[in-house]
Amino acid sequence: MDKRLTIEKRIEAELMSYDGTMGIYADDFHGNVIAIGAEEPFETASTIKTYILASLFDQVEKGKASLEDMVEFKEKHTVDGSGVLCALEPGAVLRVKDAATLMIIVSDNVATNMMIDYLGLDTINACIHGLGCRDTVLHNPLHFERYDKLGTSTPRDYASIFTRLAAGTLISPEADAKMLEIFKKQHYNSMITKDFPAVYMDSDNTDDVMVNVASKSGSMNACRNDGGIIYTPYGPYVLVMFNKKFSDAMYYPAHPATVFGARVSRMLFDQFIALEGRFHL
């Protein structure tokens, strides 16, 4: 094989015209890892919610929290942005597992603040580090008028959560399966699957959906991130793409970070399918 045409070189060539910095980590579960800027720190935006969910299940596993506990939406949890609870008035009461589900599937910011309050910021960070993510930290609750950053992580740390979830070794097989079911219901897949062939994901024209994703994305002015597990007929692989240092802070579907992230994702998808479940022969 011509070493100039490796998937890594093709990705690097694609990103030469990108007005920004993209960190990438991908694992095909066959010993092939693609890591480009994978150790570099990035603002997490809503991808920090993945770590909060893992911390919740870690505490549940240890008997220090319960998915059946009730949590109240209080005035201090109020925050603008994504989700549905911001349309309600403080006083609404939810089960912990319902608030956690909203935190992931519609990236609900109010539900996230409820989870941070329920678990405690220090406990969350201790759990994150206990899971081996030494370069990840939750700095603050979500209050955009008070804090200019939410969390910090690396593509490698973020990918480690999903690689272990796929293997059932993050918290426990049972807890990991429950978390994966939540991630599979996540509504925002604007980067990973944006350029995937529709036939793989459309059950109306095939006997079944051939490709699905368990993921969590995140966007703020300073970043556009996405990452998770892609399930294919040849098995799963993990892909994380974190973006920063782009010149356009506005959020819109054709943002360069989203466009180039989708291109990279499609390149890896095509490689994985062509090689029947691997990034390299």
pLDDT in tens, 34-89: 999 999 999 999 999 999 999 999 999 999 999 999 999 999 999 988 889 999 99
Strands of 42-43's sheet, edge to edge? 42-43, 151-153, 137-138
> Cα–Cα distance between 21 and 117 in angstroms, integer?
33
CA distance 185 to 118: 23
Range with the lowest mean pLDDT among 1-5, 32-36, 189-193, 237-241? 1-5
Token pair for 93: 């009461």
The residue ranking higher by pLDDT, 198 or 228, is 228
220-236: average pLDDT: 94
| Percentage of the chain modeled with pLDDT above 90 | 83
Q: What is the pLDDT of residues 107-151, one digit of tens each?
A: 999 999 999 999 999 999 999 999 999 999 999 998 877 777 889
The pLDDT score that the predictor gives to residue 1 is 46
Angstrom CA distances, 30 to 249, 272, 277, stand at: 37, 11, 8
Q: Please give the Cα distance from 162 to 95 (Å, whole number).
A: 25
CB contact burial 141-157 (16+ within 10 A = b; e otherwise) = bbeeeeeeebbbbbbbb
Tally the C-alpha atoms within 13 A of residue 152's C-alpha that lie toward its C-beta.
Answer: 9
For residues 62 and 18, what is the distance between their CA atoms, to the nearest angstrom? 45
Q: H or E stretch including 172? A: none
- Eight-state DSSP code of residue 89: P
- pLDDT above 70 (res 207): no
For Cα atoms 224, 229, 234, give the angle at the middle one, nearest 5 degrees: 135
Pairing of strands 151-153, 137-138: antiparallel
Query: What average pLDDT does this structure show over 255-271?
Result: 97
Query: Parallel, antiparallel, or unpaired for β 235-244 and 218-220?
Result: unpaired
Q: In the numeric block, which tokens belong to residue 60?
A: 């549940």
- For the entire predicted model, the pTM comes to 0.94
pLDDT confidence of residue 253: 87
> Given this model, what pLDDT does residue 145 score?
74
Q: Which residue has the higher pLDDT, 251 or 115?
A: 115
Domains within the chain, CATH numbers bracketed: 9-274 (3.40.710.10)
Do the beta carbons of residue 248 and residue 222 sit within 8 Å? Answer: no
* Band (206; pLDDT cuts 50, 70, 90): low
Distance from C-alpha of 213 to C-alpha of 229, rounded to nearest angstrom: 6
**What average pLDDT does the segment 145-170 reach?**
93
